[in-house]
Amino acid sequence: MAANVSPVRPAPLDAQRVRADFPILATTVNGHPLVYLDSAASAQRPLQVLRAVEEYETHSHANVHRGVHALSQAATAAYEGARERVRRFINARSTREIIFVRGTTEGINLVAQAYARPRFKAGDEILITALEHHANIVPWQMVCEASGCSLRVAPINRRGELELEEFLKLLGPRTRLVAVAHVSNALGTVLPLKRIIEAAHAHGAVVLVDGAQAVPHAHVDVRALGADFYTFSSHKLYGPTGIGVLYGREELLASMPPWQGGGDMILTVSFEKTTYNELPWKFEAGTPNMSGAVGLAAAMDYVESLGLTAIAEHEQHLLGLATAELARLPDVEIIGTAAHKASVLSFTMKGVHPHDLGTILDAEGVAVRTGHHCAMPVMTFFGLPATARASFGCYNTEGDVASLVAALHKARGVFS
Ligand code: 7TS
């Protein structure tokens, strides 16, 4: 994602030193040292994140926004401090534009239900691409069912790249919203976001970006991108589960009705009329995930301390190495060969079901994901039931790639 990385070149990543921050990587699996190649599903957490959560839970926990007592104020400061940390991380204009959600899935559903559903009608169109995760398909299908609007899907080619010309042709006066992944989770393809956003805006459409697979691998600047909505999950960014972020341009968020009702999103309640809180709390009903937010902020500190450019370069090196090694293996086919990829390597082995392959690799301590990766239409496009997928994070090494290759040789032996 060269267009988005910081121009300052930090020192290259010392993955061995980084690994010391992740105690779980010392685990042995089936008698082998763990080789964790499933960060695209969920990354592991460094001590810095674990300690920040422990510190909050041990010394600062109470409910937020509700008490004048010291702990409630400490919790509120920690939670709202985390919001400011997120704002800075993605360069949003204001903390009013940062909504804490459970994760990417909830972020997309919030926009679907509170932005799209009330305003779209028959004749309106939502445009997505053929490489989306189910979380960026199903919420829009639900909107279409409820409102009568239609879903259009821009095609991909055999390399797993978006057919940009076809995408541009599908944009028109009826297009109200474009929802695209920044990076495909099943194939690793990086989408030409700036071009997509400019074209969508030229047609008056609003753009939601599913950034789940992008934020851990590149510096994302929502204002430079021009995204209207951008959402991501903490747990893929070395932070805790159960927390994520929806960024929305203030003007859009302000124009939307609340989604869920309950505490924190109200100002006053009577049986006749309830008035809603201001942004961002209008979209945060109920007691939020304070420790999660604190952990996410610590994860952002962590990746910035390593340098997102250094992380990206390190992962690109591993991706290039693994791609070259797997390409040399007979019977292995790489699925997703886009010119611009990030950190994900999907593949199949002839004659071996990906689940069996995953089981053999696990016996060697190598953790890869196997399945449809919640992107069934991508699998259908390639005529496959599933793939095996290795994904890389800041703690992976050339040794991990070598272990993957050795385990694949072993699997070939077992099945031949
Ligand atoms: N969008 C993309 C591109 C994703 O990769 C994922 C999760 C989601 C949305 C949903 O994120 P969540 O945190 O709300 O669940 N992707 C994967 C994966 O590739 N393997 O497991 C989860």
Q: What does the pLDDT average to over 129-141?
A: 98
Ligand 1 site, residue 138, Cβ cutoff 6 A: no
Asked whether residue 203 carries a pLDDT value surpassing 50, the answer given is yes
Q: Which domain holds residue 240?
A: 50-305
Structural domains of the chain, count: 2
Per-residue pLDDT tens for 15-48?
999 999 999 999 999 999 999 999 999 999 999 9
Of 144, 149, 374, 394, the catalytic one is 374
* Whether residue 230 is found in the same domain as residue 356: no
Mutation choice for ligand 1 from 38, 105, 189, CB with most ligand atoms inside 8 A: 105
- My answer on whether 126 and 253 are in the same domain is yes
Average pLDDT over residues 297-314: 97
Nearest to 373 by CA among 389, 384, 362: 389
40 lines ligand 1 (CB under 6 A): yes
Closest atom, ligand 1, to C-alpha of 105: 14
Nearest to 336 by CA among 91, 158, 90: 158
Residue that terminates a domain, selected from 259, 281, 305: 305
Of all protein residues, whose CA lies closest to atom 20 belonging to ligand 1?
A: 41
Same domain, 143 and 288: yes
Residue 289's pLDDT band (cuts 50, 70, 90): very high
What phi, psi does 6 have (nearest 5°)?
A: -65, 145
Examine the domain organization and report whether 283 and 376 are in the same domain.
no
Q: What pLDDT does 66 receive?
A: 77
C-alpha 86 – ligand 1 centre gap (Å) = 19
User: Is 374 a residue of the active site?
Assistant: yes
Determine the Cα–Cα distance for residues 157 and 162; give it in Å rounded to an integer.
7
Do the bridges between strand 125-129 and strand 175-181 make them parallel or antiparallel, or are there none, so unpaired? parallel
Considering the domain architecture, whether residues 338 and 200 belong to the same structural domain is answered as: no
pLDDT at 11: 62
What is the pLDDT, as a whole number, of residue 6?
Answer: 45
